[in-house]
Amino acid sequence: MKQKLKELTKLAQLCELVQDQELARLAEVSARRDIVRAEISDLKMELANFLNGDWGEDTACFSQHSAPWQEWQRQKQAALNVTLANLEAEREVVWVAAKKAFGRMQAVEKVILRQTSA
């Protein structure tokens, strides 16, 4: 009985390491996703400020170059949206792995609890 409990304790430690690793991966992917979201938000704000701005004497200059700049903005935002979609997909995979690791940890803890209370 003591040997089984010892093995379960080692298994619990291993499960905890796996769970910590998955949670760290989840945090890392989430942080990268948040950075891309902030970049998209900044681009939108920059474009809105540009379109709503009063450029005074520089209006002629800006109006000449605004179409290419707006196109560049749209292309940059489209690229960021693709990156964001890829990060969301990666985060979903990591989220599932983290949930499984958490479930394993909970199951092993319950088995240990039963072994110690029996």
Walk along the chain (118 residues) and give the pLDDT tens digit of each residue.
788 889 989 999 999 999 999 999 999 999 999 999 999 999 888 877 777 765 555 555 566 567 787 888 889 999 999 999 999 999 999 999 999 999 999 999 999 999 888 6
CATH of the domain at 11: 1.10.287
pTM, to two decimals: 0.78
Number of domains within the chain:
1
CA angle 23, 78, 26 (to 5 degrees): 0
Q: 13, 113 in Cβ contact below 8 A? A: no
Cα-to-chain-centroid distance, residue 36:
10
Domain that holds residue 7: 2-51+66-117
The C-alpha atoms of residue 71 and residue 7 are separated, in whole angstroms, by: 62
| Ordered alpha helix ranges (H), 1-118 | 2-52, 59-117
Q: Is residue 30 part of a domain?
A: yes
Residue 74: CB partners within 8 Å, gap ≥ 6?
none
Q: Is residue 31 part of a domain?
A: yes
**In the numeric block, which tokens belong to residue 68?**
């290419």
